Structure 1
Amino acid sequence: MTAGVKPYFKGSLLKWLSANYEADYGFSELKINGETNDYHTFRQNIFTTIIPSDIVQFTIGAEHFLTRFPEGNTANLLLLDASAVWRLNNKVRLSLTADNLLNQRSYEYVNYGTLSRSEHHFLIRRRSILASVQYRF
């Protein structure tokens, strides 16, 4: 049996504050010879944009992954990103973006069954910081 739920929210809470939230929960269950194994997976993203003035904008975001195994143990991963944009005038735009602020490098776990073992290993992008200047002709 497999089931899933995907709630989502996107909107402006105030004139200067907006938020996007998305979650994805999954459940799977396998029964063999009276033995039951169930797995829970949960992923959620939240991004918030703050606009204190017409020329400045800040965005912060988090992404969380959680896997729960039949034995009760879990695997967790949290990623954080941030950005800032300054519009100096109609022609010049400065921005600074930082991805993977916690510099997480991998997400890995091992599942053990009665006669099986499965390894899951995900490599994650390095922390990166990008400063840019855009000029409009």
Structure 2
Amino acid sequence: MTGVIQVVGGAVVDRLADPTALLVARRSAPEHLAGLWEFPGGKVEAGEAPETALVRELAEELGIAVRLGAELPAETPDGWPLNGRASMRVWFAEVSSGEPTPLEDHDELRWVQLQDKEEVLGLPWIPADYPIVHALLDSVAALVPKSPARD
């Protein structure tokens, strides 16, 4: 895709090894997105690697340093389509230092339990993020052992 704006998002979880909670961010701007939830992140700058952009964006928006995990497989090699001009790639991330705080573009952060699909899907997400949320929940569910001995 030529001319597509590359956006990166962080699926910030409580721990990469066995995630149980996801940090979500509520937009405060622009007006048409205010009040909707999203994966924190932002645009990749010219010449910047997507992973570097995500680390930078999470520091700027939330005041945290992160350790990146696996990329959430997307529908296309360019990532998840957001609109006709932009696509987003999403990585799992774990806070390595700092306390998440809404510094830019958000007015609230919330940890949601990944096992409670109704809680996660019940949030008013930015519409383009819904397919990503579903894929993330499926990905995390696939990590859970099917053994009845697990509590």
Tell me the TM-score range normalised by the shorter chain: under 0.3
Q: Which has the higher helix share?
A: 2
TM-score (norm 1): 0.26
- Greater RCO (Cα-Cα under 8 Å, separation 6 or more): 2
TM-score (norm 2): 0.24
The higher radius of gyration belongs to 1
